[in-house]
Amino acid sequence: MKEVNEALRQHLNNDKYFISCDLYELRLKSGVSYYWADSDADVSHDGKIYKSNGPIIVRDKISTTSTVSVDKMSVSISTNDTDTIGGIPIMAVAHNGGFDGAEMSLKRAFFDDNYKIIGVVGLFTGTCEVSQGGGLTLKLSVKSIVQKLNIEYPNRRYYPQCPFSIYSKECGVDIRRFRKQGKVTALAGTNSIRIDVPFDDGYYTAGGIDWLNGPLAGQSTQIMRSQGGVIMYMSALDVAPRVGDSFYIFAGCDKTPNDCKNKFNNFNRNRATPYVPLKESIR
């Protein structure tokens, strides 16, 4: 059931004509959000400004059922070079993988005759997948977050290394304690950079970078090695960051009890079973 305030409830039940618009929130995996409205003027709601002069967004109809199902919403985004994310055109961000793991939320705002918001109702939230992109149009398939219930059962596995992903709910480590914001100071080579964040050798190995702007805006990049002041990462070969690009960088974990205990002080949640042999060794 959708929750609305009493004023909006009365408006929907008693009035015959409505003034309304869609509000879209695009939240990238890095945590940065962008807000757009399909209206003639900017809309202010809940401390956020939903911009009207952004890309043109068109969606299909959505439905609500009382059963657990994985619904999806198809969204077409018509854009040009002036519509940017982190200073980079939206189409380029999508091409570089910036929409991977992004979430989109759809709300509908209702206004009175003076264009003051009566109330807002949340309609849909899901994970974005780029289904088609080219020219000036980007098509997204936004799948309901209910799809996260589709997991293997039983979900407990036993390995010499901890099966939990670092910073996940099961792991319990707060990423904010091991994440720092920095900038690129130099390109050290192919897929290698120098940054303005000091670190010990190996500290960020197996960690990651969430890019805040530049050609990689919105993308998360896995770090292969951090040594000698150089960060070596994995990324598309034809895309490179620029000097001055901002990012969040977070520490990596080798999933061993020693790293969990000494680096993250999280040994009580470690689920490594180093004395259980792998099935390959049993064979």
What is the Cα–Cα distance from 235 to 241, expressed in whole angstroms? 10
- With 80 as the cut, is the pLDDT of residue 159 above it? no
pLDDT at 63: 63
Dump pLDDT digits (tens) for 27-42. 988 788 999 999 999 9
- With 80 as the cut, is the pLDDT of residue 65 above it? no
What is the Cα–Cα distance from 129 to 58, expressed in whole angstroms? 16
Least confident of 213-217, 272-276, 278-282: 278-282
Q: What is the pTM of this model?
A: 0.65
Closest CA to 77 of 17, 46, 125, 34: 34
Dump pLDDT digits (tens) for 240-258. 889 999 999 999 998 888 8
